[in-house]
A and B are shown apart, each in its own frame.
Chain A
Amino acid sequence: QVQLVQSGAEVKKPGASMRVSCKASGYTFTDYYIHWVRQAPGQGLEWMGWFNPNGGSTNYAQKFQGRVTMTRDTSISTAYIHLTSLTSDDTAIYYCAREAEALGIWGQGTMVTVSS
Chain B
Amino acid sequence: DIQMTQSPSTLSASVGDRVTITCRASQSVSKWLAWYQQKPGKAPKLLIYKVSTLESGVPSRFSGSGSGTEFTLTINSLQPDDFATYYCQQYNSYSTFGQGTKVEIK
A: residues with CB less than 8 A from B are 35, 37, 44-47, 50, 59, 61-62, 95, 97, 101-104, 106-109
Cβ A46 vs Cβ B97 within 8 A: yes
Per the bound structure, the CA–CA distance linking A82 and B40 in Å amounts to 26
Report the stretch among B10-18, B46-54, B74-82 that lies at the interface.
B46-54
Since A47-B97, A106-B45 are in contact, a sample of 12 more A-B pairs with Cβ atoms closer than 8 Å, ordered by chain A residue number, is A44-B87, A45-B38, A46-B97, A47-B95, A95-B43, A97-B43, A97-B44, A101-B46, A102-B50, A104-B49, A106-B43, A106-B44
Q: On chain B, which size bracket covers the interface?
A: 20 to 34
Which 9 A-B residue pairs are closest in the complex by CB-CB distance? A102-B34, A106-B43, A102-B49, A45-B97, A47-B95, A101-B49, A44-B100, A104-B46, A44-B99
* Interchain CB contact (< 8 A) of A59 among B36, B50, B94, B96: B94
Q: Can you sample 15 A-B contacts with CB below 8 Å?
A: A37-B97, A44-B99, A45-B36, A45-B97, A47-B96, A59-B94, A95-B43, A95-B44, A97-B43, A101-B50, A102-B49, A102-B89, A103-B44, A106-B45, A109-B43
* Interchain CB contact (< 8 A) of B44 among A45, A59, A101: A45
- With both beta carbons as reference points, the residue of chain B lying nearest to A48 in the complex is identified as B95
Per the bound structure, the CA–CA distance linking A44 and B5 in Å amounts to 12
* Interchain CB contact (< 8 A) of B98 among A44, A62, A103, A108: A44
Per the bound structure, the CA–CA distance linking A29 and B100 in Å amounts to 30
Contacts of B96 in A (CB 8 A): 47
Contacts of A108 in B (CB 8 A): 43
Cβ A103 vs Cβ B46 within 8 A: yes
Contacts of B91 in A (CB 8 A): 102
Per the bound structure, the CA–CA distance linking A108 and B45 in Å amounts to 11
A60 CB to nearest B CB, Å: 9
Per the bound structure, the CA–CA distance linking A69 and B95 in Å amounts to 17
Per the bound structure, the CA–CA distance linking A51 and B1 in Å amounts to 19
B7 CB to nearest A CB, Å: 14
